[in-house]
Structure 1
Amino acid sequence: MRLTRTLCAAAALLAVATAGPPAHAARANPPKIPTVFLGDAFVAGWGIAPVDPGALLCVRAKENLPDVVEDQLADQSILLDITADVSCAGAALHHVWQEQDLGGGEVAAPQKRALTKRTELVVAGLGAGTAGWGQILKQCSQRLRGTEGSHLPDLPVDAGSPAGQCAAYFARGVGARWLEQRFEQTGKDLDKLFSEIASESPSARTVLVGYPRLVPEDRGRCRTPLPDSAERPLADVPESAWDFLDSKVQARLNSLMAAKAEQHHAHFVDLYATTGTATACDGTDRSAGGLLEPSAVTLLHQRLPWLLAANETGRDGNGDTVAQSIAAMYGRGPA
C-alpha cells in the first residue's frame, strides 16, 4: 500500500513537471512581435531632445513615437521587439525604396532594408513630404524662405509669388496644377509603399499612421501669441492661408492615406480626428511647437525651430492613440 502511494505521488510530480507552466504564467509572458517603424520627422521626433547620437542627421530623438507606442502596448501585455526604427527627418515615401540624401555626402539607406521575412508588424508614418508640405509652408511664409527656414531644405513652389498670396496661388493656374500633381504622386507612392512592405515582409500586419491636426477648427486660437512670447503659433503664415492648409492640404492628405490603407487592407490610425484641440495654437496645453518657436534641439550650433512638430506632450498623446489603435487591431480594448 505504501509502495502504491509512493508511485502515485511520483506520477503526480512527473505530470506537473512535464505539463509546463500554468496558463496564467504563459499569458504573463507573451511572445514579442518583431516590429519595424518607418517614417519621417513625425515618427523620428523632430525637436525633441536629446537626439540619438547614432541618428544625428536624421534628427531622431532618443525617446520618440516608437518608444511611447512600445511602452503603452507593454502595459496591455502586447510586447514589441523593435528590430529597427529607421525614421528620418525629411523622408518622403520614395525613401522607403530609395536612398535619402542627408547632405555633406551622407545618405540614409532605403528604409525597406530594415524589413525582413520575420517582421510581423510594420508601423509607417510618411506622406507629408511627398505631398510637398515643406514647399507649401515656404510658399506661405516669407520668413521660412530666409535664414529662419534653413533647416527646412525645401524651396517654395514659386519664390516670385508673394507668401501672403499663397492661398490664391494654389487655388488656380500653375499652383493648383502643382498641388494636384503632388497628391497624385502621393497616391501612387502610397500604393508602392504597401507593395514594398508586402514584398519584403509578406506575413506582416501594416499600420499607417496619419498626421496630427495642425490648424484647429477654431482658427481664432491661432491669433494668440505663444506663452512668454510675442510670436504667433503660425508665425507669418497669413490668416487667409489657414483654411487652405487645413482643409485643402492636411485633411485631404489624411483622407488619401485612410483610403489607401483601406484599399490595401492595412490599419489606419486617424490622428487628425483626435488632435484638433491641442495644436500649436493651444497655449500651455499645446501638443506641437509653433512654426518658428525654438525647439530643444541644437544642430550645427543653431536651435531648430519646431516647424509645428509634436512636442513631448504631443508625442506622448499621439503614441498613446497609436498604441490603443494597434491594441484594438490585436483584439485588446475598444476599436
Structure 2
Amino acid sequence: MAAATTAGGTAATSRYVALGDSYASGTGLKDQQDSQCARSLRSYPALLAGAYKSSFKTATCTGATTASIRNRQGGKPPQADSLSADTTLVTLTIGGNDIGFSEIIATCVSRAANDRNGNPCQRHYGDQLRQRIDKLSPRIGTVLKDIKQRSPRAQVVLVGYPSLLPGDGSSCAWESVPFAKRDIPYLDHTVFQLNEMLRQQAAWTGAIYVDTYTPTRGKDMCRPADKRYIEPVMPLGAQSAHPNGMGHLIMSVLVKQRIG
C-alpha cells in the first residue's frame, strides 16, 4: 500500500504496520483492497495511518489467529514478515478467532431456536469459553514478545474488542440478534473476559493496551442502525457481528488518543 504523506506531500519517516483479524482488516466495509483478506481503506488501521502520518503496511486478514502472525494463512505469508527493525508503530487485534467467535455465534443461534428466553448456549459451553481464553493467554504473550523482538523501536499496541452486546437482552430484537435472552449477558461477559486477558498480557509484556470495550458500551449490535458501532448477526453477511464504519472510526480515535 502506498505510503501516507504529510500535508506538504513528503513521506513521513515513521513506519506503521497493522496486524490482526477481521476486526482490524475491515471486513464488510466499503473500499476493499484485498478480497482474500477483506482489507478496507475504511478500517481503523487505515484511518489511523492517515492521522499518524506514516508509511503504512497492513498484514491484517479475516480469519486470522495467533498462529497467522508467525505462520502462513492460506496463500498469505506470516503477518509478522511485514515487521522490520525500523517499524515505529504496530497495532494488533487478535484472539477472537482463537476462541472461536464464528463457531460460538453459530452454536448460540442454533440452540436459541427452541429456547428463546433461556440460556441454552451457556448450558452448552459451561466454563469452556473461559478455559479457551485461559489457554490463549500465553499465546498472546508470545506474539507480543515476538513483535517486540522484530521491531524493538516500535510502540506495540494491542487493541481490544469493542462491546458487541448489551449487558442484558432487553433491547435485542430476535429478528436481527437471534440469541436466547439469558445467553446475551453470558456472551457479553465472554467478550469482557477476553479483553481482560488481552489487557493483562499487554501489561506483562510492556505493550500498550487500548480498551475499545468500555467506550463502546451502549453502541452494540442491538441498537438502532444510526446508534450502533457493531452490525447485528442478521441478515448474515460479511459485516455480521463486526464493526461498521463508525465503529472503525471510533476505534481509530481511541488508538490515536492512547498513543498520543
1:23-38 → structure 2 map (5 Å cutoff): 32-38=13-19
For 2:232 and 2:214, locate their aligned partners in 1 and report how far apart those are by CA, in whole Å. 20
Give yes or no for contact 1:91–1:100 (8 Å, CA) kept in 2: yes
Give 1:117's aligned residue: 85
Q: What residue number does 1:188 align with?
A: 138
Q: Who is 1:240 aligned against?
A: 182
Determine if contact 1:99/1:108 at 8 Å carries over to the other structure.
yes
Counterpart selection for 2:250 from 294, 311, 317: 317
Aligned counterpart, 1:274? 215
Q: 1:180 to 1:216 in 2, by over 3 A?
A: closer
TM-score, reference length from structure 1? 0.68
Alignment of 1:66-85 (within 5 A): 66-73=45-52, 79-82=53-56, 84-85=57-58
What residue is the counterpart of 2:7 in the other structure?
A: none
Cα distance in structure 1, aligned partners of 2:121 and 2:168: 21
Distance in 2, Cα, partners of 1:118 & 1:143: 49
Deviation, structure 1 residue 191: 1.1
Determine if contact 2:72/2:78 at 8 Å carries over to the other structure. yes
Paired residue type of 2:229: S
Q: 2:111 touches 2:120 (CA, 8 Å); kept in 1?
A: no
Contact 1:140 1:164 in 2 (8 A): no
CA offset digits 1:259-296 (Å, max 9, x no partner): 110111110000001001211111021111111235xx
2:4 is aligned to none
Question: Greater helix percent: which structure?
Answer: 1
TM alignment of 1:1-335, pairs within 5 A: 32-52=13-33, 55-73=34-52, 79-82=53-56, 84-101=57-74, 107-142=75-110, 165-171=120-126, 176=127, 178-217=128-167, 219-223=169-173, 231-232=175-176, 234=177, 236-247=178-189, 249-283=190-224, 284-293=226-235, 304-327=237-260
Q: In structure 2, how many angstroms separate the alpha carbons of the residues matched to 1:241 and 1:164?
A: 5
1:305: how far off? Answer: 4.2
- 1:44 Cα shift? 0.5
Contact 2:21/2:60 (CA < 8 Å) preserved in 1? yes
- The higher radius of gyration belongs to 1
Alpha-carbon distance in structure 2 between the residues aligned to 1:204 and 1:275: 27
* Pairwise CA distance, 1:306: 2.3
Q: How many equivalent pairs are there?
A: 246
**Structure 1 vs Structure 2 CA RMSD:** 2.3
Aligned residue for 1:142, secondary structure, equals: helix
Q: Is the 8 A contact 1:278 1:285 kept in 2?
A: yes
- Alignment-mate amino acid for residue 197 of structure 1: I
Is the CA contact 1:210–1:271 (under 8 Å) kept in the aligned structure 2?
A: yes
Structure 2: gaps of 5 or more residues: 1-9, 113-117
Query: Aligned partners of 2:73 and 2:144: how far apart in 1?
Result: 19
SS of equivalent residue, structure 1 residue 38? strand
Whether contact under 8 Å (2:166, 2:218) holds in the other structure is: yes
- Secondary structure of the equivalent of 1:58? coil
C-alpha deviation, 1:320, in angstroms = 1.2
Aligned to 1:11: none
1:214-246 Cα deviation digits (max 9, x unpaired): 1123532213x7xxxxx32x2x22112101101
Contact 1:209 1:271 in 2 (8 A): yes
Q: Deviations over 1:21-70 (max 9, x none)?
A: xxxxxxxx895311110010001011112311xx2111112321112112
